[in-house]
Amino acid sequence: MKYLMLPLVLLSGCSATTAVNENTKKLCEDTLYQYTQIRDKGTTSQYVDLFTEDATFTVEKLGIELNGQKELATRFESARVKSKSIHLLTSAHVYLSDQGQLSATSNFILFMKDKKAADSTKVLSGRYIDSLVLSNNKCKFKNRDVIVDRIDTL
């Protein structure tokens, strides 16, 4: 009898995980996709509104570590002056971490052209690893880690 209970115990453990409700999932997926649009063509105000006041943004491979909306705004404006970009996002997945934190992963490709040296284009590809929070019926980035897997020049 005890051997018959084992599959039941294992199955009940799998079904006890908490899923993200559909409304929250939609809000957060919208934020993930808005990021790419706003980063390429939006305003500084729109960009920082995607993040919490104390958000962090890191790109370890490029030595970028930003803390708070002020640093995010400065970096956004600097990047927009220097280069033109096109972001593509795929495979967005919103979930609750093992600690119950609203989280997301997605893949990106970034085409970036230096405005002063328009003859070449950098192509970066990798993953976004995000911690998210709900604030005033919006999903915002609390932490965004950018994992760059590859950098090429065309």
Provide CB contacts within 8 A for 24, sequence distance 6+. Answer: 94, 102, 134, 139
Question: Which numeric CATH code is attached to 20-153?
Answer: 3.10.450.50
Q: Where are the domains of the chain?
A: 20-153
The residues, ordered by sequence, that sit 6+ positions from 152 with a Cβ below 8 Å of its Cβ are: 122, 123
pTM of the model: 0.83
Residue 57's identity, in one-letter code, is F
Instruction: Assess whether pLDDT exceeds 60 at residue 8.
Output: no
> What digits encode the pLDDT tens for the residues 62-96?
999 999 999 999 999 999 888 999 999 999 999 99
Q: Write the pLDDT tens digit of every residue in 22-52.
A: 999 999 999 999 999 999 999 999 999 999 9
